[in-house]
């Protein structure tokens, strides 16, 4: 008898199996298919000439010398692009980004012209011969300056029109604010008046890069009325819709094919090189491939830097009664998905706490730097960095134990979160207690006596999954009974193909290994909103489950039709043979999933159903701080997350550990240095990412034992969850070790040493 | 552009190719022999995604000029299962789940083979030393360390 009522029913043989990824053998033998491997007959390579200034009007572009270079097929600018795409602006929220710079350039590195050649070296050499003259304009780089600056990155806002909540911004001029999201709960000012203590702090995060090891790559193969794009994209359905719009074609004339991705982390969403290779292929009448170098990736898309002013009013019992959050997102020169980051993260900007009066203002700002988009967390890691550092600072100032302070204020089961949506399935308390217990909180801790001090800290976080979004799947059971799954979720390393095969296997009672998952191809794989925000296992998982259940029902009906006795277990292949007289036919099931959702009220951001599920995380850190050098060593890093029922426990553990190690880089050392708009460390030689030497001595990863009641087989996503808490847990541990508080990432030795010296009243001089 | 013909042994087979002076071994493997397991990522010899073995030593294929491979013995990841069976290092990487996106994996596997050829029973420091020149953005490092140890055991049993 089923002991649970979660969608999908009893968990049998496939859910909870730690089988290796379906494509594991291809990956270890170097044979996995990536867009990089692909060459088409007659294909040309494109190399990009980029802006050297941050903001300016284009006076002239001289391509004559480049055109004369040996092996050059052609050189193209925005003028040419306009011949094939009259209105060449794209973007998911705003149609603000030109395929090649038109009239103006808005950041260093913006594509201005492209050389095509059969030999990429010939194209590269010719790019050096292009010159451009600009009328340089003042530029704005900082998000706070952008708020009141008289320098406007765009003359006029151009919302895409697909989002109702952006429509009011149409035509707005003389502003760099692309979106202002407001959440108003209670009366925050009255709350501050009533409070016994009020604390206000400002935190900042830096500009960092996804740095997927497979750099951006796309191939366009465009004919007048049909286009095929092979691309390393996390969102093939969006690419199809947007390219169709740009070309004025129906969606069925645009085909997007996506093999495995060599990493994505949010960078390969929406349009990146796809529109450019399409335009070039139309102009050249040949297939065109553009593969970026690693240096160029620093000028494609980054994470949002942010400034977060947070103010809390606390009563004399230590209860937070009012919290005001002002968050400023540095979106760079083009909006990309920044307005969505601004809004969706705004829902939880006040943290996983039960606060009567909440006021959130979250601003998406244009600046003259590389555009910013989603990076493994959709803004949440930046917010958690701030509110969990702040929470510890408040607890310490009140002389309260940081865990006790959190216990007192944490959102309890059923309580309304800041938006008004109740948190029914967000095991915050359990996670806080697990982290505290793993840290032996409350027990004696050796803090060190010499110059090396030891400390520990923790953090907790909540995220509302992005909503509402849709996934569609089709399952085809072939004549020998082997299933083929068509689903648009992109496997970029998170193991989605394997997880979806496990769901099919569970429903049809076959081994997951026997399920073939078709590589993404919009001509055959149905619609999916995108592989982002840890949404796929929940949304696509449901769609796949529904498709498989439909197939199962049809198989049972066939059994009945053929007069099979009740409870017969005749193999599916035999049923087909009986029905068609030979190995023939197939059974097709489809599933569409879109969760319930109530949009937040404009102006207040309030709703009783902001998201179908919450993502909840906690982290604990033990650190050693060398007070003579500022060097911080993370000795122990604990992550406890809620991902519902793990479909594949081994892959879940790798996701938890990999996410937190990536965040460890963003926490401890990664930073894009920008000087006059120019990234001065745009290479792996100068931009350090975590290597094998940076792994903490002890890592503990735990998915707490729970199910997500409305998830497919009790599951939900886990890709981002372990990124949330790493940063503030470490900053809180540093404070515990040596009493200094760092409010800006990264926590490198210089930052820590400066803080130690400042605390000793012997501050170091600025650079 | 000066071109020359180089002859070398590629995965056990005698081959030759026309190469220009500026061509890297990586480009030649990709363009002339359709071998994609070694791949360019950072382009500076820092990430290890392009690792190939030349005369028994792991090199960065994105920096190693093809002309230098004239007369050399070159091995790529595609050769490890030439007899239809995975190498113990490959098996161990699968069993330990030592990768996610898989883009860096061939480089890690070739470098692990190099490590185990020289230190059949490596300790943690040796593993980290050998693999510090290979980067994994998915950060499957804990699983990779486990895989290296498991591969060492598999090779010890096989001997």
From the CA of B40, how many Å to the nearest CA of chain A? 8
**Structural domain span for residue B28:** 3-78
* pLDDT (average), residues A347-358: 98
Q: Is B143 contained in some domain? A: yes
Nearest to A691 among B37, B80, B135 (CB): B135
Question: Would you state the CATH architecture of domain A35-139+210-297?
Answer: Alpha-Beta Complex (3.90)
First to last CA, chain B: 49
Say if residue A211's pLDDT is above 80: yes
Where residue A1 falls among pLDDT bands split at 50, 70, 90? very low
List the one residue out of A611, A655, A708, A641 whose CA is nearest residue A345: A611
pLDDT surpassing 60 at residue A120: yes
Which of B78, B96, B118 marks a domain boundary? B78
pLDDT-derived band at A546 (thresholds 50, 70, 90) equals very high
Q: Among A720, A744, A765, A767, which one carries the catalytic annotation? A: A720
Nearest to A731 by CA among A752, A701, A760: A752
Q: What is the largest CA-CA distance in chain B?
A: 51
- Chain position carrying tokens 């490596």: B122
Whether residues B73 and B9 fall in one domain? yes
Do B100 and B138 lie in one domain? The reply is yes
Which residues on B lie below 8 Å from A294 (Cβ)? 41-44
Of B77, B135, B138, the CB nearest to A30: B77
Contact A693 B132 (CB under 8 A): yes
Choices 3.30.470.10, 3.30.1490.20, 3.40.50.2000, 3.30.365.10: CATH for A302-466+601-759:
3.30.365.10
Query: Where is the domain boundary, B39, B59, B78?
Result: B78
Residues B49 and B92 both lie in one domain? no
pLDDT tens-digit series, residues A253-306: 999 999 999 999 999 999 999 999 999 999 999 999 999 999 999 999 999 999
Contact of A14 with A506, CB cutoff 8 Å: yes
Region A61-89: mean pLDDT is: 98
On the question of pLDDT at A3 being above 50, the answer is no
How many angstroms separate the CA atoms of A313 and B84, rounded? 67
Q: Which of A25, A264, A661 sits opposite B141 (nearest CB)?
A: A661
Residues from chain A contacting residue B78 (CB–CB below 8 Å): 29-31
The whole-angstrom separation of Cα A452 and Cα A635 is 13
Q: Is position B34 within any domain?
A: yes
B39 and B19 co-located in one domain: yes
B83 found inside a domain: no
Quick one: pLDDT at residue A2?
A: 38
Q: Is A720 an annotated catalytic residue?
A: yes
Residue B50 sits in the same domain as residue B108: no
Do residue A23 and residue B131 have CB atoms under 8 angstroms apart? no
Domain boundaries, chain A: 24-32+469-593, 35-139+210-297, 302-466+601-759
Chain A residue at shortest CA distance from B92:
A28
Query: CA of B143: which chain A residue's CA is closest?
Result: A654
Give the residue from A747, A746, A426 showing the smallest Cα distance to A618. A426
ipTM of this complex prediction, to 2 decimal places: 0.98
Share of chain B above pLDDT 70, in %: 99
A695 inside 8 A of chain B by CB = yes
Q: Report A:139-168 residues touching B (Cβ under 8 A).
A: none
Mean pLDDT across chain A = 96
Q: Are the C-beta atoms of residues A260 and A34 closer than 8 Å to each other?
A: yes
**Would you say residue A22 has pLDDT above 50?**
yes
CATH fold for the domain made of A24-32+469-593:
Aldehyde Oxidoreductase; domain 4 (3.30.365)
Relative to beta strand A288-291, strand A452-464 is unpaired
- The answer to whether A118 faces chain B, any CB pair under 8 Å, is no
Q: Which residue has the higher pLDDT, A723 or A164?
A: A723
Q: What is the CATH number of the domain that holds B125?
A: 1.10.150.120
Decide: A213 and A270 in contact? Cβ < 8 Å: no
- Does A24-32+469-593 match A302-466+601-759 in CATH topology? yes
- Nearest residue to A111 (alpha-carbon basis) of A92, A93, A88: A88
User: Do B51 and B93 sit in the same domain of this protein?
Assistant: no
> What is the least distance, in Å, from the CA of A698 to any CA of chain B?
10
Residue A644 reports pLDDT greater than 60:
yes
Please identify among residues 208-267 of chain A the ones whose CB lies closer than 8 Å to any CB of chain B.
211-215, 260-265
CB contact under 8 A, A658 and B138: yes
Q: What integer is the mean pLDDT of A636-652?
A: 97
Spatial strand order in the sheet of A632-642: A452-464, A614-626, A632-642, A698-703
Q: Of chain A residues 613-652, which have a CB less than 8 A from chain B?
A: 650-651
Percent of chain A whose pLDDT exceeds 90? 95
A213 closest CB neighbour out of B80, B104, B145: B104
Q: A460 has which bridge partners?
A: A618
Q: Give contacts of B103 with chain A, Cβ < 8 Å.
A: 34, 212-214, 262-263
Number of independent structural domains in chain B: 2
Q: Tell if the CB–CB gap between B141 and A36 is shorter than 8 Å.
A: no
Nearest CB to B132; choose among A213, A654, A692: A692
* pLDDT at residue A8, rounded to an integer: 82
What average pLDDT does range A338-360 have in this prediction? Answer: 96
Dihedral sign for Cα atoms in the order A590, A596, A600, A606: negative
B17-39 pLDDT per residue, tens? 999 999 999 999 999 999 999 99
- In this structure, the answer to whether residues B13 and B72 fall within a common structural domain is yes
Q: What is the pLDDT of residue B1?
A: 59
Q: What is the pLDDT of residues A234-253, one digit of tens each?
A: 999 999 999 999 999 999 99
Cβ of B99 and A28 within 8 Å?
Answer: yes
Is B120 exposed, middle or buried (CB count within 10 Å of its CB: 0-12, 13-18, 19+)?
exposed
Question: Does residue B129 share a domain with residue B72?
Answer: no
Backbone angles phi, psi at A195, to 5 degrees: -70, 145
Say yes or no to pLDDT of A767 above 80.
no
CB proximity A450 to B under 8 Å: no
pLDDT over 90 at A163, yes or no: no
Indicate yes or no: CB of A24 within 8 angstroms of CB of B94.
yes
Q: Give the Å distances, CA to CA, from A433 to A112, A423, A436, A641.
A: 54, 18, 5, 12
pLDDT > 80? residue A326: yes
Q: Is residue B156 pLDDT above 70, yes or no? A: yes
A55/chain B closest Cα distance in angstroms: 28
Taking CB atoms and an 8 Å limit, are A699 and B49 in contact across chains? no
Instruction: Tell me: do B74 and B94 sit in the same domain.
Output: no
Residues of B in contact with A685 (CB under 8 A): 42, 44, 46
B7/B67 same-domain check: yes
Tell which residue, A434, A344, A355, A368, has the closest CA to residue A394.
A355
For residue A110, count other CB atoms closer than 10 A to its CB. Answer: 25
Structure-block tokens of residue A603: 């102006």
Find residues 575-594 of chain A whose CB sits inside 8 Å of chain B: none
CA-CA distance, A130 to A51, in Å (whole number)?
11
- Residues A416-469 pLDDT 10s: 999 999 999 999 999 999 999 999 999 999 999 999 999 999 999 999 999 999
Enter the tokens of residue A698.
């002890």
DSSP state of A713: G
CATH number at residue B44: 3.10.20.30
CB contact under 8 A, B102 and A493: yes
B147 located within any domain: yes
The half-sphere exposure of A605 on its side-chain side, counting CA atoms within 13 A, is: 24
Q: What is the pLDDT of residues A175-200, one digit of tens each?
A: 999 999 999 999 999 999 999 999 99
Query: Residue B47: its chain A contacts at CB < 8 A?
Result: 213, 684
Closest listed residue to residue A458, CA positions, set A635, A311, A637, A632: A637
Question: Residues B34, B94: one domain?
Answer: no
Please enumerate in sequence order all residues whose Cβ is within 8 A of that of A761, keeping only pairs 6 or more positions apart, or say none.
Answer: none
Cβ separation of A20 and B102 shorter than 8 Å? no
H or E element that contains A268: none
| Interface contact B106-A30, CB threshold 8 A | yes
Question: Does the beta-carbon distance from B140 to A260 stay under 8 Å?
Answer: no
The mean pLDDT value of chain B amounts to 97
């Amino acid at each position: 008898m089923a002991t649970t009522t979660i969608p999908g029913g009893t968990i049998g043989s496939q859910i909870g199996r730690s089988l290796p990824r379906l494509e594991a053998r291809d990956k270890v033998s170097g044979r996995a298919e990536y867009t990089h491997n692909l060459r088409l007959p007659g294909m040309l390579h494109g190399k990009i000439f980029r802006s050297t200034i941050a903001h300016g009007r284009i006076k002239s572009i001289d391509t004559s010398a480049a055109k004369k270079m040996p092996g050059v097929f052609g050189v193209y600018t925005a003028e040419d692009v306009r011949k094939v795409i009259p209105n060449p602006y794209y973007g998911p929220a705003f149609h603000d980004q030109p395929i090649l710079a038109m009239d103006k350039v808005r950041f260093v590195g913006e594509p201005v012209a492209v050389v095509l050649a059969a030999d990429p070296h010939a194209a590269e050499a010719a790019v050096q011969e292009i010159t451009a003259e600009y009328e340089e304009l003042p530029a704005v780089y900082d998000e706070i300056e952008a708020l009141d600056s008289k320098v406007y990155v765009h003359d006029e806002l151009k919302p895409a029109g697909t989002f109702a909540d952006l429509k009011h911004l149409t035509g707005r001029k003389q502003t760099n604010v692309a979106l202002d999201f407001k959440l108003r709960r209670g009366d925050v000012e009255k709350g501050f008046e009533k409070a016994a203590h009020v604390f206000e702090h400002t935190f900042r995060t830096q500009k960092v890069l996804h740095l997927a090891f497979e750099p951006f790559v796309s191939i366009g193969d465009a004919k007048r009325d049909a286009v095929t794009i092979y691309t390393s994209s996390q969102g093939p359905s969006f690419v199809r819709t947007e390219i169709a719009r740009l070309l004025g074609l129906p969606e069925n004339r645009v085909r997007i094919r996506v093999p495995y991705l060599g990493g994505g982390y949010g960078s390969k969403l929406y349009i990146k090189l796809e529109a450019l290779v399409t335009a070039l292929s139309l102009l050249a009448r040949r297939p065109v491939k553009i593969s970026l170098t690693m240096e160029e990736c620093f000028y494609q898309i980054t994470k949002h830097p942010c400034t977060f002013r947070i103010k809390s009013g606390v009563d004399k019992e230590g209860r937070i009664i009012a919290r005001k959050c002002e968050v400023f997102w540095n979106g760079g020169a083009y909006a990309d998905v920044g307005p969505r980051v601004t809004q969706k993260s705004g829902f939880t900007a006040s943290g996983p706490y039960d606060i009567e009066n909440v006021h959130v203002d979250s601003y998406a700002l244009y600046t003259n730097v590389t555009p910013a988009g989603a990076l493994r967390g959709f803004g949440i890691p930046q917010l958690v960095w701030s509110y969990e550092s702040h929470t510890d600072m408040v607890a310490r100032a009140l002389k309260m134990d940081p865990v006790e302070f959190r216990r007192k204020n944490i959102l309890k089961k059923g309580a309304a979160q800041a938006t008004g949506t109740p948190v029914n399935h967000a095991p915050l308390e359990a996670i806080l207690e697990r982290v505290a217990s793993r840290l032996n909180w409350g027990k004696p801790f050796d803090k060190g006596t010499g110059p090396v001090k030891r400390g520990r800290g923790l953090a907790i976080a909540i995220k509302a999954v992005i909503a509402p979004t849709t996934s569609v799947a089709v399952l085809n059971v072939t004549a020998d009974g082997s299933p083929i799954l068509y689903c648009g979720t992109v496997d970029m390393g998170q193991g989605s193909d394997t997880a979806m095969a496990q769901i099919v296997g569970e429903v049809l009672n076959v081994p997951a290994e026997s399920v073939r998952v078709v590589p993404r191809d919009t001509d055959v794989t149905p619609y999916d909103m995108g592989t982002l925000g840890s949404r796929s296992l929940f949304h696509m998982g449901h769609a796949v489950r529904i498709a498989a259940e439909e197939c199962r029902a049809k198989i049972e009906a066939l059994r009945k039709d053929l007069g099979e006795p009740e409870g017969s277990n005749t193999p599916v292949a035999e049923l087909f043979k009986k029905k068609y007289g030979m190995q023939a036919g197939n059974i097709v099931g489809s599933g569409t999933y879109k969760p319930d959702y109530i949009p937040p009220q404009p102006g207040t951001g309030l709703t009783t159903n902001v998201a179908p599920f919450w993502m909840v995380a906690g982290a604990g850190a033990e650190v050693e701080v060398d007070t003579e050098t500022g060097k911080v060593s993370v000795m122990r890093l604990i992550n406890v997350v809620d991902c519902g029922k793990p479909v594949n426990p081994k892959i879940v553990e790798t996701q938890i550990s990999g996410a937190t190690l990536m965040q460890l880089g963003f926490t401890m050392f990664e930073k894009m240095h920008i000087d006059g708009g120019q990234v001065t460390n745009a290479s792996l030689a100068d931009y350090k990412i975590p290597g094998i030497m940076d792994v903490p001595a002890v890592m503990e990863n735990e998915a707490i034992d729970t199910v997500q009641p409305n998830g497919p087989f009790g599951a939900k996503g886990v890709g981002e969850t372990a990124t949330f808490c790493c940063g503030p847990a470490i900053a809180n541990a540093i404070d515990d070790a040596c009493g200094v508080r760092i409010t800006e990432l990264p926590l490198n030795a210089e930052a820590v040493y400066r803080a130690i010296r400042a605390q000793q009243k012997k501050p170091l001089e600025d650079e | 552009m000066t071109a020359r013909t180089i002859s070398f042994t590629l995965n056990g087979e005698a081959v030759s190719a026309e190469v220009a002076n500026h061509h890297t071994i990586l480009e030649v493997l990709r363009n002339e022999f359709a071998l994609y397991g070694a791949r360019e990522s950072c382009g500076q010899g820092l990430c290890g995604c392009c690792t190939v073995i030349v005369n028994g030593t792991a090199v960065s294929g994105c920096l190693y000029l093809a002309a230098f491979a004239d007369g050399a013995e070159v091995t790529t990841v595609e050769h490890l299962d030439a007899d239809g069976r995975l190498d113990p290092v490959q098996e161990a990487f699968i069993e330990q789940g030592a990768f996610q996106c898989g883009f860096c994996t061939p480089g890690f596997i070739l470098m692990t083979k190099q490590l185990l050829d020289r230190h059949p029973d490596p300790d943690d420091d040796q593993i980290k030393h050998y693999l510090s020149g290979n980067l994994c953005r998915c950060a499957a490092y804990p699983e990779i360390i486990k895989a290296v140890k498991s591969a060492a055991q598999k090779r010890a049993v096989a001997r």
